[in-house]
Structures are given as structure tokens and as C-alpha cells.
Structure 1
Amino acid sequence: MSHDCSQPTGPDGIYPFDARGVAKRFRHAAIFGALDSLNPGEVMRFCNDHDPLPLLNQIGQFFGDRVKVAYVSRQPGQVIIDFLVAA
């Protein structure tokens, strides 16, 4: 499955976030801010060039069960993760 993270995914409550275009020093703050702004039931589709395991750990510690993680793609150079905000 191929996905272009630069393209909007439509009005279905999925919001794209391409981390590759955010300066590294601001990435985690931008990601946490984006997740914090989502409403229950909304999804942030996160794209990155590597598997962000330390970030996922931080998200789990900060948000707990409020944010669910589901990999869409784990291809080298293009990792896509859906973050679902639970109700």
C-alpha cells in the first residue's frame, strides 16, 4: 500500500502529520501539540522516515490509554502510524 503523506486524507476525521517536514528540535513538541488538539474519535496519520520508538514510549507515558497506536506502514524510509484519540 502506498500513501502520499503530503496529500490530505479527506473529511473523515483523519488529519495528516508529516514529521519529515518539521525541524528535529521542534518535532516532539509539534506532535504532542497536534495530538492534544484532536477530539475523541479523530485520527492523526503520522508519517516519518524511521520508526519513532522513543516517541511512542513518550506518547504512551503522557497520554496513556487516551491515544491508540496503529501502524499503517512500516517500510524503510516511510513509516506511517495512525494515532486514534479514544472517547
Structure 2
Amino acid sequence: MHDCSQPTAAGIYAFDARGIAKRFRHAAIFGALDALNPGEVMRFCNDHDPIPLLHQIDQHFGQHVRISYVSRNPGEIIIDFLIAS
């Protein structure tokens, strides 16, 4: 299993949703995305594929956030959210 707490490359910031209460997850994720600068990446880790969240991000940010799966294994979902210029 991927350890999202480990440091990543410069400009890539880990966000492990597994440790955040479900009630606060979406607000925390949107806040983290808002804090990123163009060219920076939030590496998102979760235990399930967050399809509804991805739709919400697309509706809110549109082309400003690019979504790319790093890992899509059962119980280990890792997605990079790149902030576009």
C-alpha cells in the first residue's frame, strides 16, 4: 500500500484523505486545491475511487485542474490533481 505521508518530489503535495473525517473531506480537498499555484500537484490518496468528488471538482474548477490516476487498485486510489496555468 502506498504511504502518502512520505515526501514526494518538489511541487507535489501529498493529501491523504483516509485520515480525514468524511464530513470534512470535500471541504478540505477543495481548500487544498485552492491553495495550490499553477504547475503544482496535489497527490490524493484514498481507499476508494471518489467518482462523485471528481465530478464536483470538474464542475467547480473546470480546465484549471487536470486529473490523472497514478494507481487505481482496489483499496488504493492515488490521483494527481495538477493545477493548470
Task: Show structure 1 runs of 4+ deviating over 3 A.
Answer: none
User: Are the equivalent residues in 1 in contact too, given 2:2–2:76 (CA < 8 A)?
Assistant: no
User: Are the equivalent residues in 1 in contact too, given 2:45–2:77 (CA < 8 A)?
Assistant: yes
The runs of 5 or more residues in structure 2 that have no matched partner are none
The runs of 5 or more residues in structure 1 that have no matched partner are none
- How far the C-alpha of 1:3 sits from its partner, in A, is 3.2
Of the three residues 40, 47, 51, the one matched with 2:38 is: 40
State, as a whole percentage, how many aligned pairs show the same letter.
76
Tell me how large the CA RMSD over aligned residues is.
0.9
Q: Report the TM-score when normalising by structure 2.
A: 0.96
Aligned equivalents of 2:84, 2:19: Cα separation in 1: 27
How many residues are aligned here?
Answer: 85
- What are the equivalent positions in structure 2 for 1:7-22 lying under 5 Å apart? 7-10=6-9, 12-22=10-20
Aligned equivalents of 2:54, 2:81: Cα separation in 1: 10
Q: Report the TM-score when normalising by structure 1.
A: 0.94
Matched residue SS, 2:79: strand
Of the three residues 46, 70, 73, the one matched with 2:71 is: 73
